[in-house]
Amino acid sequence: MTILLKTIGLLLLTVVSVNLWWRWASRRRSLPCPTWLASSLESAVMDRLMGTKATLDRIGLQPGQRVLEVGPGPGRLLIPAAKRVSPGGEVVGLDIQPGMVKRLKARAAQAGVANLTAVEGDATQPHFPPEHFDVIWMCTVLGEIPDREAALRQCYTALKTGGRLSITEIFPDPHYQSLSTVQRLAAMVGFQLQAVHGPWFFLTANFDKPALP
Ligand SMILES: C[S@@+](CC[C@H](N)C(=O)[O-])C[C@H]1O[C@@H](n2cnc3c(N)ncnc32)[C@H](O)[C@@H]1O
């Protein structure tokens, strides 16, 4: 019994230490969620645990919109989002890891989704024309980006005036960002808070890109 308890304690300590180290190191260099973990985001159980439907409801997608997910991974949210913006809408996923982009393309094809484009690239760099998207969202991604402000600046530029930025954070993601951090960073680049949904451990903050005065 004592050995079992010690083993469990040691395992917990290791998991917490790795999470804390990953969180700290991600503020200094890009250490994204590895591609081999992609399959863990693809099950129906994960959809329930991570609130896939609730997150999409909170983002508030409408048919006909052109939308971007920054860091879609294998498309847990982006593939159902493609259906929500139909007819007439299109979804784009921008991910820094080639393996995630490949996986996203394969899963979209398998699901018969034709209005989805997967782009490989770093969210802190420009990839899209200004005023291009109606909605941009990130889910459990912001904390993986060393320069979070630069990524939000790119979102601001790529969004249409009056468009929506939606950020979802889920605890205990090692890169979890609190509401106050999300609000502070978004305000720094010019976004206005529109609404906050959910409790602190599963929050979605929606922001507007306001018209210039
Ligand atoms: C934890 S996964 C989340 C996937 C998806 N948003 C979800 O909630 O199911 C984080 C994703 O963000 C991507 N990512 C991390 N840093 C990025 C960056 N600088 N630019 C674009 N994508 C990035 C990773 O490659 C990974 O696919």
- φ, ψ (nearest 5 deg) of residue 77: -95, -35
Q: Is residue 65 part of a domain?
A: yes
How would residue 90 be classed by pLDDT, with cut points 50, 70 and 90? Answer: very high
Which structural domain range is residue 166 located in?
32-208
**What local confidence, expressed as pLDDT, does residue 34 receive?**
82
Q: Which amino acid is at 212?
A: L
Query: Does residue 133 lie in a domain region?
Result: yes
Q: Indicate the average pLDDT of the chain.
A: 94
Ligand 1: residues within 6 Å at CB?
A: 30, 32-33, 41, 70-73, 76-77, 94-97, 100, 122-124, 139-141, 144-145
Q: How far is CA 195 from CA 4, 77, 165, 191, in A?
A: 46, 20, 11, 12
Identify whether residues 81 and 167 lie together within a single domain: yes
* Assigned domain for 213 exists: no
Do 115 and 144 share a domain, yes or no?
yes
Q: Are residues 3 and 58 in the same domain?
A: no
Q: How far is the CA of 123 from the centre of ligand 1 (A)?
A: 9
Tell me which residue of 47, 56, 96 sits closest to 78, measured CA to CA: 56
For residue 79, give both structure tokens: 């593939």
Rounded to the nearest angstrom, the distance between the alpha carbon of 21 and the centre of ligand 1 is 18
Distance in Å, CA 37 to ligand 1 centroid: 11
Same domain flag for 102 and 27: no
Residues 6+ away with beta carbon under 8 Å from 79: 107, 108, 111, 113, 116
Task: Quote the pLDDT of residue 213.
Answer: 64
Regarding whether 202 and 113 lie in a shared domain, the answer is: yes
Domain count, the chain: 2
User: For residues 110 and 74, is the Cβ–Cβ distance under 8 A?
Assistant: no
For residue range 154-170, list pLDDT tens digits in order: 999 999 999 999 999 99
What is the distance in A from the centroid of ligand 1 to the CA of 213?
Answer: 34
Mean pLDDT of 3-22: 85
- Per-residue pLDDT reduced to its tens digit, 21-74: 878 778 777 778 888 888 888 888 889 999 999 999 999 999 999 999 999 999
Which residues lie across from 116 on neighbouring strands?
A: 91
Q: Are residues 53 and 20 in the same domain?
A: no
Query: Is 23 within the bounds of a domain?
Result: yes
CATH number at residue 108: 3.40.50.150
| Pair (142, 57) in one structural domain | yes
Q: Greater confidence, 113 or 22?
A: 113
Place of tokens 């919109």: 65
Q: Are residues 20 and 36 in the same domain?
A: no
